[in-house]
Chains A and B, each alone.
Chain A
Amino acid sequence: MFNKIWAIVQKDLYTTFTDRNLVLIMFAVPLAIATIVGVVFGGLGDGDNLTLDRIPVAIVNLDEGYESFGQQANLGADFAALATGGEMTSGTSAVGSDTSTACPLSDAQSSGTSQSSMTDILAATEVATEAEARAGVESGDYDVAIVFPADFSASLSPRINEDEASPPADPVAVSIYANSAQSVDGAIVRSIVEGYVDTIQTGYIALETTINSLIASNPVAAIVGGNNDAANAVIACAFGDTLATIRLDRQSIEVQADDEPAVTGGAFSYILIQIGAAQAMVFGLFAAQFGIISIVEERREGTMQRMMLSPTPRNVIIGGKFTATFFMVVLQMSVLLLALTVIASFGAGTFVWLWGSNILLLVLLILAVAIAICGLSVILASIARTPEQVGTLGSVFNILLGLVAGAFGFPPILPVAYLSLIYWGVNGLEALAIGSTDITLNLLVLFGQGIVFFLLGTWLFSRRVEA
């Protein structure tokens, strides 16, 4: 059985790749489109930047705050204020201390790092309840929701003048809900929140160390607390503007000097990732269309019937055609993704690997996309009766799938885009490109679509052959 499937695969690959026109359409056209769009909108070179759309975020602040050592703090509210451009409340002294004292921590945070205001990145809205935020994410109003728990501030509060043997507070647990289809945005927001918490913790560690050493050397000062200038300065730093300097270095996205986030390799590479991934998917669909046309043509030319008159079960023949199309799409996508990396490297003047470091996930994603594409091709083959019908139906299918998925520069049309394999494929590649590994849902949807399409297509195809 496998010999026969392999014979069909070999034959189909040979006839496809010896057709110069097909090869041109499968490889040269998508690369040309991605490169031209990349050059026009991103320019060449490493230092070019690209402004990303701000990420719509819902913030639910359930934080009850805390008061300690004469200071009031609500770190959840502060995050919301930073994200929305509002005014921070923490760092205000219960006893009216001056918070304008020079802040060494702030200097330390700023030195040598690129920084960005959260409002440049997030389009944040405060909402009252977690349910409301979740509903907003589900409906697509927000890409991500952040929920600060009631004990968020308390769990992060510095341990000042406490018995060292006493147990530490429970770890802070901030909930971040991102629709898995928006895994890139989710990863960015998670990175921001982690950066925020890290910054607080760094400040508090310094605060704890300083205050505790002050207490050790001057217990009286510890009692009056807020009247000690040195302590006030440190506390002010801990709760002050330092919190606004969020570093996004958890991901491969870096904050540039002019406060605009970009992908390694510059805007050109970023556009190559977006457009190139989309074009790889769209032209993967067209490659599969060639596979379908070959099925319909074989039926028209009589070679399909000839195969069926041989002692070869029908499912082996369909399996062979499916496998051939699958190999073709996998080969095409792999070559396209590699070629895009080469083009990005030329553009940047240095080697740039676009697709993240997790090669296993990249391979899995390519396989999942190829299976989904091939499944769709089997359905198309079962519906269309002539190569012309395949051409028309297939092109309409491909363009519709690309349009709703945002493959042509427009934003994805949600929630319809969730039906498009291009959406899940491009989204997965973008996630991998920024270093995220959270593409489980992408893989599940793509593999699932492929299996369902294949079973449905095979059933329809068998009915057609019978008729």
Chain B
Amino acid sequence: MAAMIEAHGLKKVFTTGDGKRIEAVKGVDLAVQKGEIFSLLGPNGAGKTTTINMISGLIEPTEGDASIGGHSITGEPLRAKALLGVIPQEIALYPKLSARQNLNFFGKMYGLSGADLNRRVDEVLDFIDLRDRQNDRVENFSGGMKRRVNIGVGLLHRPQVVYMDEPTVGIDPQNRRRVLDTVFRLRDEYNMTVLYTTHLMEEAQELSDRVGIIDHGEIIALGTQGELTQQVGEEDRLTIGIDAVQAPQQLLDALQTQIEGVTQAEFLAPTLPEGVDSEELERKGGKIRVLAKRGRKALPRILNLIEEHNVEVNSVEVREPDLEAVFLHLTGRALRD
């Protein structure tokens, strides 16, 4: 069966005002099956949005092509776009129009009209639970309500593919939960294919059937969560906060050589905004990150070793293998760096 979304060799090069060429996406290959929730995970500036903008036809690829439901986005853009519902990261609504007027307008942009449009608008208002506020201006809505209308617009024409671009950015936990539940409903109740971009590992882990990790314009890993974590083995990740702005190299060496299971130990220097004085830096301290098999078991010995080197421990965090670890393993950087 053909994939619902396919991308082959997608590349995008931007030229800046001073003539500099920036390769934002360096040849992405992707295939997402029908009914699948696929997350594109990567830090800010990794190329997620540019990739999706090419797949959805908002910008033309410099090289390569993508298709939605078998329709090339460059050859048959209108057919491809008709299958796609977009839920952008920012609230893309007309604040002076009511929820219903917004839905009506965008419904017309998708070719809906008359009774069909009215019925779909009613269904969507029910889906986003805003029927009772349908005639209120969007500018008077709370952030969460705006987010729901924003989602509703993307679902109005019953798309086969829904693209959601970091839809939980800047919303409270309750509304975030509602958004995530909506994603599951789209797949489970409507058999929609969901393409979800996020820089939040937790969301990708919770939602995704499969995950693509993107960094510097390239997909560096792709698969189910289990397949990806296998890439980093069974190592736990221990993050130990210390009161020093620098860790002795002997300590890092000792952690790797003297404690069984430790495969990597590194110091993460504290970072503060420019202009903050050194005292503040010292107060914040740095972190030692340790990758270790059976990390919880090794933790007491690790703490002892640190104490022996006259370094005071402020905090300890132990994480089992996850997508963050995968990203760290593949790039040497944390997802949030």
Contact = CB atoms under 8 A, between A and B. Distances in A.
Interface of A: 3-4, 7, 11, 14-15, 18-19, 301-303, 305-313, 466-467
Interface in B83-105: 84, 86, 88, 90-94, 96-97, 101, 105
Given A14-B101, A305-B92, A466-B59, 18 more contacts: A3-B108, A4-B109, A4-B111, A11-B94, A11-B101, A11-B105, A18-B96, A19-B96, A303-B93, A306-B106, A307-B106, A308-B57, A309-B56, A309-B86, A310-B106, A310-B109, A310-B110, A313-B78
B219 interface: no
Nearest to A305: B58
Contacts of B56: 309
A7 B109 contact: yes
Contact of A307 (B91, B96, B109, B113): B109
A97 B57 CA distance: 95
Interface of B: 14, 56-60, 77-79, 81-82, 84, 86, 88, 90-94, 96-97, 101, 105-106, 108-111, 113, 153
Nearest to B79: A311
B82 A301 contact: no
Contact of B88 (A305, A311, A313): A305
14 contacts: A3-B113, A7-B105, A14-B101, A15-B94, A19-B96, A303-B93, A305-B88, A306-B86, A306-B88, A308-B57, A311-B81, A311-B82, A312-B109, A466-B60
Contact of B92 (A11, A306, A312, A313): A306
Contacts of B81: 309-311
Contacts of B59: 466
Contact of B111 (A14, A18, A308, A311): A311
Nearest to B163: A309
A466 B61 CA distance: 10
Contacts of A313: 78
Indicate the member of A11, A15, A307, A467 with the most B CB atoms within 10 Å.
A11
Contact of B97 (A15, A19, A305, A309): A15
B111 A302 contact: no
Contacts of B90: 301-302
Contacts of B92: 301-303, 305-306
Contacts of B153: 306
A310 B157 CA distance: 10
- Sort A-B residue pairs by CB-CB distance and give the 5 closest, nearest first: A302-B92, A7-B108, A310-B109, A311-B78, A311-B82
Nearest to A15: B96
A7 B93 CA distance: 15
A314 to B, nearest CB: 10
A4 B58 contact: no
Q: A interface, by DSSP: helix, strand, loop or mixed?
A: helix
Contacts of A309: 56-58, 81, 84, 86
Nearest to A309: B86
Contacts of A306: 86, 88, 92, 106, 109, 153
Nearest to A312: B109
Nearest to B89: A302
A11 B97 contact: yes
A109 B263 CA distance: 117
A452 B82 CA distance: 33
A14 B102 CA distance: 12
Contacts of B106: 306-307, 310
Nearest to B84: A309
B86 to A, nearest CB: 5
Nearest to B59: A466
Nearest to B86: A309
Contacts of A467: 14
Contacts of B93: 301, 303
Nearest to A308: B58
Contacts of A3: 108, 113
B63 to A, nearest CB: 15
A313 B84 CA distance: 15
A14 B105 CA distance: 12
Indicate the member of A310, A312, A313 with the most B CB atoms within 10 Å.
A310
Contacts of B88: 302, 305-306
A303 B57 CA distance: 15
A306 B81 CA distance: 11
Contacts of B82: 311
A310 to B, nearest CB: 4
A18 B94 CA distance: 13
A311 B14 CA distance: 25
A208 B56 CA distance: 88
Contacts of A302: 88, 90-92
A296 to B, nearest CB: 15
A310 B163 CA distance: 12
A466 B53 CA distance: 11
A261 B299 CA distance: 103
Indicate the member of B93, B96, B101, B109 with the most A CB atoms within 10 Å.
B109
A94 B78 CA distance: 90
Contacts of A18: 96
A467 B105 CA distance: 27
A4 B108 contact: yes
Nearest to A6: B108
A461 to B, nearest CB: 15
B105 to A, nearest CB: 5
Contacts of A310: 81, 106, 109-110
Contacts of B57: 308-309
A309 B162 CA distance: 12
B110 A311 contact: yes
Nearest to A313: B78
Nearest to B109: A310
Contacts of A301: 90-93
Contacts of A305: 58, 88, 92
Nearest to A316: B109
Nearest to A7: B108
A311 B79 CA distance: 7
A311 B56 CA distance: 11
B41 to A, nearest CB: 22
A467 B24 CA distance: 13
Indicate the member of B78, B82, B97, B106 with the most A CB atoms within 10 Å.
B106
